[in-house]
Homo-oligomer: A and B are copies of this chain.
């Protein structure tokens, strides 16, 4: 099942550059793993914001939560999840 995931990153502006970079690297590494596992399918930036929109696939909402909460930035993310239903046009 697919989910649309909007995530605003609220990491404080005054986070030291080194800590920020460390978090970004860990975030990127974990995201790459989620892509490899087929959980994170697409990711976009919301222009002008420290925010993303992602297309995820997971067996259910609990598995999705596990994936999202495994991200290094998760404690600072304000996440909104929307369940998506397969459209008949895309069947077969």
A→B interface (CB under 8 Å):
1-5, 7, 13, 28, 31-32, 35, 42-49, 52-53, 55, 59-62, 64-65, 68-69, 75-90
Contacts and interface: CB of A to CB of B under 8 A. Distances in A.
A53 B4 contact: yes
B5 A44 contact: no
A65 B87 CA distance: 10
21 contacts: A1-B60, A1-B61, A13-B75, A31-B89, A35-B89, A42-B90, A43-B90, A44-B87, A45-B65, A45-B85, A46-B82, A47-B61, A47-B62, A47-B79, A47-B85, A48-B68, A48-B77, A49-B79, A49-B81, A61-B84, A62-B86
